[in-house]
Amino acid sequence: MESVKIIDVSPRDGLQNEPKSVSLEQKLQLVNQLLAAGIHKVEVTSFVHPVKVPQMADANELLQALSDKENLEAIALIPNLKGYERAREHRLSEVNWVSAATETFNEKNIGMTIEDNMSQFLKVLEEAKKDGIKTCFSVAVSFGCPYEGDVDEENVLQIVRRIKEAGVDRIGIADTIGIATPDHVESLMKKVLAIAGDTPVAIHLHDTRGLGLTNAYAAYKAGVRVFETSASGIGGCPFAPGAAGNLATEDLVYLFERMNISTGVDFQKLLGAADYAASLSTKNPLGRIRHVEKQREEGNVR
């Protein structure tokens, strides 16, 4: 049976832009529910400046509280060298570094040019290899930018070539504003995979225009087997105006399991985690399957 790997990003990407405070205990409960559902690779937090993203100010405490979870492959997002220096003090399976495919988004999101960002990442990569921590390099706005509009595929592919040559452990391609269409996804991901070779490639999709699932299937057809999603579809990029939440983990798991593609996830337990994730968010969750399953349990639909 074919299989895919799901990485849930709801504790970080899902909560980072929440206006109401989410407690350490609530974040721990969300991670624990994801683990109970069989999702072991989770992006739990980020080491960004708390002034910029106050919701992630408890990164140290959260990772300390999760340090005894042997079945957790914890990922932390890092924006710069200082962030890596903080992250390296914890038990992490991976750090995630983000650069944009456009200069304007990179400047507004990170405050650096693409080249300066790349130079810092290469220094982090060198340190991470010494520390035994894996790295993921994620390319934001790969399919479209809120400031520059259409993004030339070659912009993305040039970055992928450089990080592949540098020895990154995983590559992420993100539709940060949910502008992608299935044909574009399939075209770009085939080219990315050809460059990546044996380096795993993940796709990170937002469901802004309701095309998240169709884009995920297009990525699967192109050869992608790693997907970054968020329980109940909560979240969205605080630096991308109008970007709605992520593709819902439970929707993608439902799709693949119905297609006899194994995710290794307990669907019923995942629905519980999705309900809990939704309760932490002030936004209307984008996940659809949760609502259908509740109607089915009540006998309203088959």
Residue 229 corresponds to which tokens in the numbers above?
Answer: 């999603």
At 283 the pLDDT is 78
> Do the beta carbons of residue 229 and residue 199 sit within 8 Å?
no
For the domain 5-297, what is the CATH superfamily, name and number? Aldolase class I (3.20.20.70)
Asked whether the predicted pLDDT for residue 241 surpasses 60, the reply is: no
Asked whether the predicted pLDDT for residue 239 surpasses 70, the reply is: no
> Do the beta carbons of residue 106 and residue 112 sit within 8 Å?
yes
Predicted TM-score (pTM) of this structure:
0.94
In this structure, what DSSP letter does residue 54 have? G
237 is a catalytic site residue: yes
SS3 call for 262? strand
Residue 137 corresponds to which tokens in the numbers above?
Answer: 């390099």
Confidence class of residue 289 from pLDDT cuts 50, 70 and 90?
Answer: confident
**Using one digit for the tens of pLDDT, what is the confidence trace for 42-88?**
999 999 999 989 999 999 999 999 999 999 999 999 999 999 999 99
Of 72, 160, 237, 252, catalytic: 237
> Do the beta carbons of residue 199 and residue 228 sit within 8 Å?
no
> Do the beta carbons of residue 247 and residue 217 sit within 8 Å?
no
H or E element at residue 73: strand 73-78
**Using one digit for the tens of pLDDT, what is the confidence trace for 19-49?**
899 999 999 999 999 999 999 999 999 999 9
Asked whether the predicted pLDDT for residue 296 surpasses 80, the reply is: no
User: Sign of the CA dihedral 31, 34, 38, 43?
Assistant: negative
**Using one digit for the tens of pLDDT, what is the confidence trace for 158-177?**
999 999 999 999 999 999 99
**Using one digit for the tens of pLDDT, what is the confidence trace for 103-143?**
999 999 888 999 999 999 999 999 999 999 999 999 999 99
Nearest 10 degrees: Cα torsion 9, 14, 16, 20: -150
At 1 the pLDDT is 78
As a whole number of Å, the CA-based R_g of the chain is 18
Residue 260 corresponds to which tokens in the numbers above?
Answer: 């006899």
d(CA 122, CA 251): 36
Q: Where are the domains of the chain?
A: 5-297
Residue 86 corresponds to which tokens in the numbers above?
Answer: 């903080």
